[in-house]
Amino acid sequence: MIPREVKLVEVGPRDGLQNEPRPLDAAAKIALIERLAESGLRVVESGSFVSPKWVPQMADTDKVMAGIRRKPGVSYPVLVPNMKGLDGALAAKADEIAVFGAASESFSRKNINCSIAESLERFAPVVDRARAAGVRVRGYVSCVLGCPYEGAVAPAAVAGVSAKLFAMGCYEVSLGDTIGVGTPGAAQAMVEAVAAAVPRERLAVHFHDTWGQALANILACLERGIATVDSAVAGLGGCPYANGASGNVATEDVLYMLDGLGVRTGVDFGQLAAAGRFVCEKLGRPPLAKAAQAQAARLEKAGERA
């Protein structure tokens, strides 16, 4: 049964912008984050404290975190790779952080230059220290339905990494189809395998739309009781370490589908679409969200009739 309420986790200001070729300055990022929060989104991932050598688009996360007007009831998580990243997050008064592992050994080594086991050992003290400081921790698992180096990934491998992140203290584990190769049946099988190891209500899904399957995959996972979905406004970004991985599924498209299903999100489509148009104007490109394109065409026609 599809949940009556779904939490949307907006990842555009981090996972989206980190792979856009044109960087945005801190002021534009702050304006985007504030617009997204005003739309009703309860979680807006706002940056990452990673080495600017590897992800230069996120080099000003400290300025962004210092500049945003934090709306009550909204969380502004940041990604951290290690203890140094946590230092930055704590100094920025982050209320939530995210750590990231992979279900593929090859991807783990290419992405963070260590094995899966080593990555989990590295994150354990980060999670402990964050939780001791009262900061919530979310876990990401990459390549849950396929790897650019290894091909298919076994659901059991995804379940194993997810269970370790949950046991470590992550309150939620987000399952990411990093290269967007998944299909609905495979997505459901993966979710069922992970749900045998981690409570279903602690799972989220994070789909890229490389093969045009993201909305179908999300719906398939909703049918299996998943009630948290990651998405990026305007379909921003992708993964810089996965060749051919197109943008995240667009938040506007996910919201339009959920609204049509009668699922509550608390997010206003008009305000969300306006935030998407804002960031795309700054980036000099059109929004990839089909629903946003359709709304813009409708508004244009209405203006012509007026």
Give φ, ψ of 192 to 5 degrees: -65, -40
CA torsion through residues 271, 277, 281, 283, sign: positive
The 8-class DSSP code of residue 249 comes to P
pTM as predicted = 0.95
Q: Which residues of the chain have pLDDT under 70?
A: 238-246, 304-306
239 is catalytic: yes
Q: Which residues of 190-223 are buried (b: 16+ CB within 10 A; e: fewer)?
A: bbebbbebbeeebbbbbbbbbbebbbbbbbbbbe
Are 166 and 123 in contact by the 8 Å Cβ rule? The answer is no
Residue 191 amino acid letter? V
Are 192 and 224 in contact by the 8 Å Cβ rule? The answer is yes
Tokens of 61: 């996360």
Q: For residue 8, give Cα distances in angstroms to 76, 106, 252, 264, 306.
A: 13, 30, 11, 10, 35
121 vs 118: CA distance, rounded Å: 5
Per-residue model confidence (pLDDT) at position 305? 56
79 vs 47: CA distance, rounded Å: 6
Per-residue model confidence (pLDDT) at position 246? 63
208 vs 15: CA distance, rounded Å: 11
Per-residue model confidence (pLDDT) at position 304? 61
- Check 147, 170, 239, 280 and give the catalytic one: 239
Sheet bearing 43-44, strands edge to edge: 43-44, 7-10, 228-231, 203-207, 172-177, 136-142, 96-102, 78-79, 47-48
131 vs 139: CA distance, rounded Å: 13
Per-residue model confidence (pLDDT) at position 105? 93
240 vs 166: CA distance, rounded Å: 26
Per-residue model confidence (pLDDT) at position 287? 84
From the CB of residue 61, how many other CB atoms can be counted at a distance below 10 Å?
27
